[in-house]
Structures are given as C-alpha cells and as structure tokens.
Amino acid sequence: MTMLPQEVIRKKRDGGQLEADEIAGFIKGLADGSISEGQVAAFAMAVWFAGMNREECVALTLAMRDSGEALDWSILGRPVVDKHSTGGVGDNVSLMLAPIVAACGPAVPMISGRGLGHTGGTLDKLESIPGYDIQPSPALFRRVVDEVGCAIIGQTANLAPADKRLYAIRDVTATVDSVPLITASILSKKLAAGLQSLILDVKLGNGSFMADASETEILARSLVDVANGAGVRTSALITDMNEPLADAAGNALEIKNCLAYLRGEKAGTRLDKVVMALAAEMLVAAGVAAGPAQAEAMARRALQSGAAMERFARMIHLLGGAADFVDHAETYLAKAPVVVPVDAGRDGYLTACRTRELGMVVIALGGGRTRPDEEIDHRVGLDGLKPLGTRVQKGEPIAFIHAADRQMAGEMRKMVAALYTIEDEQPAPRPVIVSRIT
C-alpha cells in the first residue's frame, strides 16, 4: 500500500508511534520532492508537539542518513573525528577547532550548516571569505582533508539531502527546538560523513535552543545514545550559553575573531576554555592522546607553534580563498559602513544579558535569515562584547554595532543596551563547561 504523507502526519499529530517504514517512506518523499513544503512543515510541527521515542528517532536518523551517499575515509589511514555544536551566539569554535585537531594528527572532515533560528552558521561565516567554496567537488573535499587534515564544507547534494530540505523549513517554522529533529538532523549528516568518533557541544542557557538544564541533558543523552547505537564513538560536553561565547557575533566579525584566536590573542577566555576542552575530547576519542591532560597539551602546542594557523590558511586557500588571506584579512573581509558604540547606562557590573535577543539583533541587522532563500550581509554584527562580570562605567562601550546604515545602527544601539543588566554587585562566575555526557 502506498504511504500517504497526510496519514503519517495525522498519526504523529495524534501521538501515535510511527513505524520505521512509515518514517523511511516520508523521508524518501521529502528527499525526492514528492512531499510538499507544507506537508514537511506539518510533519515537523507534529513531531515538535508529540515527540518521538528512541526507536523512532533512530529510524528517522538512519532514513535521513540513507537519503544520500555515505563517505568512506579508510584510505587515509588515520582516525576520523568531528565535532558538532547545537548552536549559540558568537559560537565560532569549529573554525579554530578543526585546524587545531588536524595539526595533532586526526582527519577532521567537517560538514557544517547555515544559521538556524537566532544562531549563526559556520558556512555563513566562511562565505564572508572571498572565493571560499563551501560546496567543493567530492574529489577536492577529499584532497583537502588528505593534504591539510581538515576541511569545513556544507552538505553536498548527495549527503543527507533529506536533512538539507528539512533544516531550511525548520528554520522558518518555529520547529528548531525539538529533540528528535535536532538529533536526527545532526547525526544524519555526521553518520553520512563516515566518522569514527564524534564530540558534541550541547549548549545550555538563554542563548541556546535548550534553556532548561533537564531538557539540555535529555538532548545530550539522545544524541550520545543514538550515535553510539549507530556505531560512532560519541560523547558530549554541556557548555554555558548565557552570554555570547566569543566577543563578536556576525559573519566577517567572527572570522576576524577566529584569526585573533589562532594568533594566541584569546587565551584564558571562555571561548578558549571551550575550544581546548573539545579539542581534548576529540584527541582522546581519536586515540592519539591517552587522557585529557596530554590531549590539551598537544592542542596548546598546535596553537602556540602556529601549526593550527598554518592548517587554517592552507584550508582557506585550497578551497578557493586567497593564499595570503590570514596575513591580510583586513583587505579581504568586507566592512560595515557604520560602526557605533553601545554605551553602559550606569556604573556597575555586567550581570546578565539576553543572549538569544543579541542573536536576533544580528539577524535584524541583515546578518541572518528570515526566509530560507534570503541573502545575508556578511559585514554586519556585534563586536567588542564585554563578558559578564566586567566592571563598567556609565558611557563606556560594552559592545559595538556594525550596520549597513545609520538608522539601523541607531535602532539596534538602543535595543542592545536594553539587553544587558548592570548592577552594583559583581556576579559569581559560572563554569563554561557544565558537565560531560558519555
């Protein structure tokens, strides 16, 4: 009997458990276009409300993985490892992490995504580099991973194509924050990428998709259980996203921030702690370090010696960017015509910020999307973001807005100032690494 999409949607809407063949049939139609965008959106909303159990989630993940081809890296003769973040504001970790880990020996073929909801996308950041090809030929992708050790690209048409379509529809239908959909979206791409091990950075806080600690742990455990069940050694770190991770949010601005990090200018920051913790997890999982202390020492050497920057530069060049990009990034990265400071409204300590809304400011400036096909402005965003706990004086800049015109800059300036809380007492520091899930 032919699978009717509307019957699958109805069954899930009413709280029923879908069979593996029903899920596989729906995903096949999603991938080949025989199921309409409206039906896909309805399915996503039904899953959002009714959820999925572990068996359904495994079936959804495998069906999305099998909607295209799977990669095989066995010819490289070295461990293949990757990392994925559930997304946040100012989270540009992948840009630094891939070359750091590659400089320590493993191969890192990283399949990344675009911005989703209020979060920035690694591909959008890389596309602010003139010439960078986020969808190289399979032969070039393999060559870069072989020669450099890492390559960060987007999904090819043949890699989990069902997820590519579902991802874009989720972004604009308020169905992003669903544990089964997040799990299947992340893992279908990673399983298709031929990984041996995977490390997950699951965000917790007001700038993440999961602001509740118990919900975050449910997502982390879902990801770890499904991935390990599919044969990929996986662990997760739950990390704090109650403020932007980097001191910049916006595409070209986060590339600048990445280069500063690789030059050693961000040591000791929250960003540095997350990068090093994830690098250590990846190196231990890949079997090239015996434990976290040895792994972090290896990662630090790769950073301090310049080996990580050299890998990043070669990756950029082989994927279409300028050979001298890292040395002359200022001449290649587009700059916003208007930059204005956001001033502190009073003396005191920065005690809190509404992180998700800061991400929405970047989108309002033009640095993100409200429709799947929308062009973005790589120049705009925020930088100079002061970390929480900083003592400020009235009139002192707590951030800078990079905008396309003065009117937008003025509107966003007032909004960003209102997103920060300034109080007399310094807040207690929060750990950036909250917990580890295996």
**Per-residue model confidence as pLDDT tens digits over 282-331:** 999 999 999 999 999 999 999 999 999 999 999 999 999 999 999 999 99
Catalytic, out of 65, 84, 203, 317: 84
Q: Is 273 a catalytic residue?
A: no
Confidence (pLDDT) at 2: 65
Residue 125 annotated in active site: no
The proportion of the chain whose per-residue pLDDT surpasses 90, expressed as a percent, equals 81
Distance (Å, rounded) from C-alpha 160 to C-alpha 166?
10
Query: pLDDT tens digit string along 152-202?
Result: 998 777 888 999 899 889 988 989 888 899 899 889 988 888 899 999 999
Based on the fold, state whether residues 280 and 144 are members of the same structural domain: yes
First and final C-alpha spacing in the chain? 41
Catalytic residue among 86, 94, 119, 185: 185
- Indicate if 259 and 282 belong to the same structural domain: yes
Mean pLDDT of the chain: 93
| Radius of gyration, CA atoms only, the chain | 21
Distance CA 422, CA 303 (A): 35
Q: What percent of the chain has pLDDT over 70?
A: 98
Quick check: 372 pLDDT over 70? no
- My answer on whether 238 and 321 are in the same domain is yes
DSSP letter for 256, please: H
Please name the residue that has the structure tokens 């973005």: 376
Confidence band, pLDDT 50/70/90 cuts, at residue 3:
confident
Of 82, 91, 124, 247, the active-site residue reads: 82
What is the layout of strands, in order, in the sheet containing 348-353? Answer: 391-392, 348-353, 420-423
Given 281, 306, 329, the domain boundary residue is 329
Place of tokens 């390990």: 228
Q: Catalytic residue at 85?
A: yes
| Residue 83 annotated among the catalytic residues of the structure | yes
Give per-residue pLDDT as tens, 384-418.
999 999 999 999 999 999 999 999 999 999 999 99
- Is 429 part of any domain? no
- Which of 125, 190, 369, 379 is catalytic? The answer is 190
- Judged by DSSP in three states, 249 sits in strand
Domain of 55 in residue numbering reads as 5-65
**CATH of residue 379:** 3.90.1170.30
Task: Indicate the pTM of the whole model.
Answer: 0.88
> pLDDT at position 86, please?
86
Q: Which residue has the tokens 């109805």?
A: 10
Q: How many domains does the chain have?
A: 3
For the question of residue 122 being annotated catalytic, the response is yes
For position 298, what pLDDT does the model report?
A: 98
Instruction: Please identify which of the residues 12, 125, 164, 189 carries the catalytic annotation.
Output: 189
Mean pLDDT of 50-71: 92
Out of 116-120, 212-216, 262-266, 277-281, pick the least confident. 116-120
Which entry of 12, 61, 65, 83 is annotated as an active-site residue? 83
The residues that bridge with 199 in the sheet, in sequence order, are 83, 235
Q: Are residues 343 and 217 in the same domain?
A: no
Considering the candidates 170, 270, 379, 413, report the single residue annotated as catalytic: 170
